[in-house]
Amino acid sequence: MISEIFDHADAAAGVANPFLPEHFSSEVVVPPVILMPFGVSECVGAGAQAHYGFTGIDVSPDELKTAAKRTQNLERNFNCRAGFSREDDTLPDRFFEEEIEVDGQMRSIDKTEQLGRMIGKFYEIRGWDEQGVPLDNTLN
**CB of 135 closer than 8 Å to CB of 129:** yes
Digit-coded pLDDT (tens) for 60-111? 988 888 888 899 999 999 999 999 999 999 988 888 888 888 889 998 878 7
123: exposed, middle or buried (Cβ count in 10 Å: 0-12, 13-18, 19+): buried
Beta strands in the chain, from DSSP E residues, in sequence order: 100-102, 105-107
DSSP string across 99-120: -EEETTEEE---IIIIIHHHHH
Domain residue ranges of the chain, discontinuous segments joined by +: 2-139
pTM score above 0.85: no
